[in-house]
Amino acid sequence: MNVTDIIEAIENVAPLEWQEDYDNAGLQVGDCRQPVDAVLVCLDVTEDVLAEAARKGCNLIVSHHPLIFSALRQVAGQTFQQRCVEKAIKNDIAIYCAHTNLDNAKGGVNFRMAQKMGLGSLRFLEPKLFEGCGSGLTGVLPEPMEETAFLEKLKSVFGVEDMHHNRLRGRVIEKVALCGGAGSFLIPVAMEAGADAFVTGEISYHTYFDADGAYGGHGILLAEMGHYESERFTVDLLSDIVSNAFPHLRIEKTELVTNPVMHL
């Protein structure tokens, strides 16, 4: 099999046209005709991840986050992206990413998050024009939870070191809205959908005021887990997609934690 075969398997689940306008998903480095010996799956492409791929004999990296978001003016070792491209070419390692197209896909990143939370009755929070495609999800917990217990469950399941949330107001959490990564743009949609809580990776400071219920009512519980933490199970998701299509292909999951955010 070659790189094109792997791409087709991934895009059968998450077609490239489902990515957002600002995104740059797809094949980023390498020849689509290159035979694939083994695949390394990761969330982020870094220099250490490239070294790991070379060490493990993987000549294709499949990542969630794109290495290249905007055009490179040069490849001269000035940035980590440039150095990664140079190392990938020197080691004959192709790089493919499935980003917002996988976020928006049925069975994609948000569905894996919902599965880990145990949510049922899943619906797209903001459906797209394409069938089976949308931003965010709503789902229902098996049993209603007190808000502190709900936050503690998220911390445990997603390995969150520093959970940010708005004021606790004695809410009962049953209907949950979510979006992996930077999903705060969907908070108004989640509130309109009647969600008790909204879970995502990143929320800006001033957004908390709008959802806090400070001017009457209980508002909505906001749970900000961290971008990396909210999408950490995407590595398993990508591995499952490729292994289901090619059960005899060797697939390695990165052993590296590529989260660039540290906590003191």
CATH assignment, 3-99+233-253: 3.40.1390.30
- Say how many C-beta atoms besides its own lie within 10 A of residue 224's C-beta: 24
Q: Which amino acid is at 16?
A: L
Q: Could you give the CA distance from residue 231 to residue 200 in angstroms, rounded to a whole number?
A: 9
* Angle 4-6-20 from CA coordinates, rounded to 5°: 90
Per-residue pLDDT reduced to its tens digit, 166-213:
999 999 999 999 999 999 999 999 999 999 999 999 999 989 988 876
pTM: 0.95
Query: In angstroms, how far is CA 79 from the centroid of its own chain?
Result: 24
Closest CA to 193 of 116, 121, 113, 130: 121
φ/ψ of 189, rounded to 5, equals: -65, -40
- For the 106-224 domain, the top CATH level (class) is alpha beta
Beta-bridged to residue 124, according to DSSP, are 137
3-state DSSP of 69-86: CCCCCCCCCCCHHHHHHH
List the one residue out of 188, 263, 185, 187 whose CA is nearest residue 228: 263
Three-state DSSP at 129 gives: coil
Give percent of the chain with pLDDT exceeding 90. Answer: 91
Amino acid at 40: L
- The encoded tokens of residue 173 equal 């959490």
Fold equal for 3-99+233-253 and 106-224: yes
* Strand-by-strand arrangement of the 38-42 sheet: 26-29, 94-97, 60-63, 38-42, 250-253
Domain ranges of the chain: 3-99+233-253, 106-224
Token pair, residue 5, equals 């075969």
> Tens digit of pLDDT for each residue in 85-141?
999 999 999 999 999 999 999 999 999 999 999 999 999 999 998 989 999 999 999
Backbone phi, then psi, for 50, in 5-degree steps? -65, -40
Report the candidate in 227, 135, 128 with the shortest Cα–Cα distance to residue 182.
Answer: 227
Q: How confident is the model at residue 66 (pLDDT cuts 50, 70, 90)?
A: very high
Q: What angle do CA 89, 93, 94 make, to 5 degrees?
A: 95
Gap between the terminal Cα atoms of the chain:
46
Query: Taking the CB of residue 3, how many other CB atoms lie within 10 A of it?
Result: 22
